[in-house]
């Protein structure tokens, strides 16, 4: 599955885009001015996405990748 397919599936499932998740992550303190907070571990973010949005691990990691600036 391509990276874009992951993002498309996430949008279909949650109604949220990567930008929406970035906004929510800022509110939770995972991002600061669009950048990952150094003390935040990937597991914290993926656990949040799994619990709150019922994403699988691969889909949660795709969102995490967008936080790191990896979009292709």
> Is residue 1 predicted with pLDDT exceeding 80?
no
Q: Is residue 15 left, alpha or beta, with left meaning phi > 0 and alpha meaning psi from -120 to 50? A: left
Given this model, what pLDDT does residue 26 score?
97
pLDDT tens across 12-66, in order? Answer: 999 999 999 999 999 999 999 999 999 999 999 999 999 999 999 999 999 999 9
Higher pLDDT, 29 or 70: 29
Q: Where are the alpha helices (DSSP H) in 15-68?
A: 18-28, 42-53, 57-67
Domain layout of the chain by residue ranges: 3-67
Measure CA 63 to chain center.
Answer: 3
Given this model, what pLDDT does residue 64 score?
96
What does the block give as tokens for 2? Answer: 């391509």
> Is residue 72 predicted with pLDDT exceeding 70?
no
Q: Name the 3-class secondary structure at 31.
A: strand
Give the integer Cα–Cα distance in Å for 71 and 31: 17
Q: Please give the model's pTM, rounded to 2 decimal places.
A: 0.92
């Amino acid at each position: 599955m391509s990276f874009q397919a992951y993002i498309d599936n996430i949008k279909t499932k949650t109604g949220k885009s990567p930008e929406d998740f970035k906004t929510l992550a800022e509110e939770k303190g995972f991002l600061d001015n669009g950048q990952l907070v150094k003390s935040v571990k990937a597991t914290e973010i993926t656990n949040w996405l799994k619990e709150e949005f019922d994403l699988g691990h691969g889909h949660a990691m795709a969102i995490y990748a967008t936080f790191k600036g990896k979009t292709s």
